[in-house]
A and B are shown apart, each in its own frame.
Chain A
Amino acid sequence: MSVLRADNVHKRYDDLEVLRGVTFEVAPGQVKVIIGPSGSGKSTLLRCLALLEETDGGEITLEGARPGPGEVGMVFQRFNLFQNMTALQNVMCGLVEVRRQSKSEARKAALEFLDRVGLADKAAQYPDELSGGQQQRVAIARALVMRPKAMLFDEPTSALDVELVREVLDVMETLAREGMTMVVVSHELRFAHHVASTVLMMDDGRIVEEAPPGEFFSAPKEERTRRFLSLVE
């Protein structure tokens, strides 16, 4: 039984084949962490899962059907908070514009989710006035408030100063413990160790290896994975 599934997904940009037939699925409550060198297709895979990119073959399904608006939440490397809106307005936006909720309903839910990421006191601040870590937590709340069936994280801590990484990983860890289905592209190997159900290695548009973190890090089967891990660790 899987929540989110990619079936033989292909993606090319002109002559460049970025995904060469990726098949992969996430079961409810699973956390899959994808690692791999840049250009291996990790981010493209996430964008395809979030329907931000059309695939050139293959299929993306969420509980057996094409995902609807807001059903798969996405968190970006560079946060991408709406610059013209306060933290609260950012989190309300999807509820008002997509779910057609009333402003007061949306505000209530948004405040609740800002509180969950520990930022209820920053509701009135604009993105420019928040630290990177705070912005990313607002971005997580903005996706969560839509009650997605799965959450995708595209290198959520790579744009952050070191001392801000922890607060974002903590939020993600809590989320995982609460049973959220997650796909995370990240090089935070400690996070992968602690939180991942399985770790995937991607290279050259393919999934090279997939294993539970213990096995993946201590006894990787593929030479490609070993080489990559020796570079990252």
Chain B
Amino acid sequence: MLASFDTHLFWVALSSGPYWRGALLALEVTAASLTTAILIGFFVALGALSPRRGIRSISWIYNWLFRATPTLLQLFFIWYALPQLWTGFAQSWFTPFMAAWIALSLNEGAYMSEIIRAGLLSVDPGQELAGRALGLSRRRILQRIVVPQAIRIAIPPTGNEFITLLKLTSLASIISLHEILTASQELAVVKFQYPEPLLAALLYYLAIVSVLMVLQSRLERRFTFTSARRRRPSTAAAVPAVSHDAR
């Protein structure tokens, strides 16, 4: 039996400005961080696959550093410690948004590099060989042949990472980023009523992730290499997933 569920409060929460803005902010941090992380991850992955040992170890150290330490600690370090170490970060540009963006990009970059590395490795070496036989440069081979095929493999785990990151943005409520969790907590504290504000927050996450899942399946179809009329839902082989249980 529901002791008390204030439907009105629920609708107020769901349609309130702080929630909308919080959701938008969470989405912005997620999108910005994931984009940066893909860039970082791409170069870290290339480094990990480099024939040069020195470059491989730089990639290894990067992954080790950012995967072995808690994300929350990294966020704290960047928000609280960095401005004390480096006055350049004690300026007005260094907002909670910037701190969250930097911390989550660096952290996620390590995970993305593993996904991208797995994607690159999944491409048959015969593809590169054929490219070289035609006289294509290594860069062109990567750009035109290997990366498009690796993307196909990397999309599903990258979708996972998007979801993980979206949820990780709630960590940034601790460094006073006004995302959805902050909005729900503020409302709950004022009304002294938790179910409605938290349920509303939950719905926001569900909505965002649902939209993402639709976009992801479209993207997967875009990178399934069959002619349009035969295009069908992907049946690509299972991809080794990176575990994020402990984040």
A and B associate in one complex = yes
Residues of A within 8 A of B (CB): 50, 52, 68-71, 73-74, 76, 78, 80-86, 93-94, 97-98, 124-129, 139, 142-143, 146
What are the interface flags for B137-148 relative to A under an 8 Å C-beta threshold, 1 for contact and 0 otherwise?
Answer: 000100011001
Residues of B within 8 A of A (CB): 124, 126-127, 129-136, 140, 144-145, 148-149, 152, 223, 225-227, 230
Docked CA distance A128–B230 (Å): 11
Q: Does A70 lie within 8 Å of B134, measured CB to CB? A: yes
What's the least CB distance linking A104 to chain B, in Å? Answer: 18
* Interface of chain A, main secondary structure: loop
- Contacts A/B (CB < 8 Å), 5 sampled: A69-B135, A70-B135, A80-B124, A81-B130, A129-B227
Assess A93 versus B133: contact at CB under 8 Å? Given A76-B126, A124-B227: no
Beyond contacts A69-B136, A83-B124, A93-B134: 16 other A-B pairs, Cβ-Cβ < 8 A, are A52-B129, A70-B134, A74-B130, A76-B126, A80-B126, A82-B131, A83-B149, A85-B225, A94-B136, A97-B140, A126-B225, A126-B227, A139-B130, A143-B134, A146-B134, A146-B135
Assess A73 versus B133: contact at CB under 8 Å? Given A80-B124, A83-B149: yes
* Interface of chain B, main secondary structure: helix
Q: Does A126 lie within 8 Å of B135, measured CB to CB? A: no
- Top 10 A-B pairs, shortest CB-CB distance: A69-B135, A80-B130, A74-B133, A80-B126, A70-B135, A94-B134, A84-B148, A98-B135, A126-B225, A84-B225
Partner of A126, one of B127, B140, B226: B226
Q: Does A129 lie within 8 Å of B226, measured CB to CB? A: yes
Q: Does A143 lie within 8 Å of B133, measured CB to CB? A: yes
Q: Does B126 lie within 8 Å of A142, measured CB to CB? A: no
Docked CA distance A94–B134 (Å): 6
Docked CA distance A68–B127 (Å): 20
Assess A94 versus B126: contact at CB under 8 Å? Given A84-B148, A86-B227, A126-B227: no
Partner of A82, one of B130, B152, B226: B130
Docked CA distance A52–B140 (Å): 16
What's the least CB distance linking B244 to chain A, in Å? Answer: 29
Q: Does A84 lie within 8 Å of B149, measured CB to CB? A: yes
Q: Does A142 lie within 8 Å of B134, measured CB to CB? A: yes
Q: Does A52 lie within 8 Å of B226, measured CB to CB? A: no
Partner of B225, one of A80, A128, A139: A128
What's the least CB distance linking A87 to chain B, in Å? Answer: 10
Assess A52 versus B135: contact at CB under 8 Å? Given A82-B127, A84-B145: no
Closest to A50 in B: B133
What's the least CB distance linking B50 to chain A, in Å? Answer: 19
Assess A68 versus B135: contact at CB under 8 Å? Given A84-B148, A97-B140: yes
Docked CA distance A94–B140 (Å): 11
What's the least CB distance linking B237 to chain A, in Å? Answer: 13
Docked CA distance A62–B127 (Å): 25
Closest to A82 in B: B145
Docked CA distance A142–B130 (Å): 10
What's the least CB distance linking A132 to chain B, in Å? Answer: 14
| Residues of chain A lying within 8 A (CB to CB) of residue B127 | 80, 82-83
What's the least CB distance linking A88 to chain B, in Å? Answer: 11
Docked CA distance A83–B225 (Å): 7
What's the least CB distance linking B146 to chain A, in Å? Answer: 9
| Residues of chain B lying within 8 A (CB to CB) of residue A74 | 130, 133
Q: Does B134 lie within 8 Å of A128, measured CB to CB? A: no
Closest to A146 in B: B134
